Amino acid sequence: MPGELLPIGTRPRLVASFDPPGADEAFRRWRSDRAEALEGVPADALRVEYGRAAAGGLFVRVRIDEEHLPAALRVSQP
């Protein structure tokens, strides 16, 4: 199959997920509480995804490239 076995690099790991209501505030609190762990993560290895939930309201997902994932964030901790 074309593309099979091609190296694609590391995958971003979901480290936190916040659903409405209050997802944005919960994300800001999470980020503040884990500022020390996030300090060493390069900006291009951190992804913050915002979207609209089907029932309405904002959701937030946080992903970090596996190679830069701090030990303190290896398990989802919303």
Tens digit of each residue's pLDDT (9 = 90 or more) over 19-73: 999 999 999 999 999 999 999 999 999 999 999 998 889 999 999 999 999 988 8
Residue 74 clears pLDDT 80, i.e. is over it: no
Distance CA 69, CA 37 (A): 9
Instruction: Give the Å distances, CA to CA, from 63 to 3, 4, 6, 48, 55.
Output: 25, 25, 23, 6, 23
Q: What is the pTM of this model?
A: 0.79
Q: Which two tokens stand for residue 14?
A: 């979901």
| Structural contact between residues 49 and 4, judged by C-beta atoms closer than 8 angstroms | no
pLDDT digits (tens, 9 = 90+) for 11-29: 789 999 999 999 999 999 9
Contacts for 8 with CB less than 8 Å, ≥ 6 apart = none
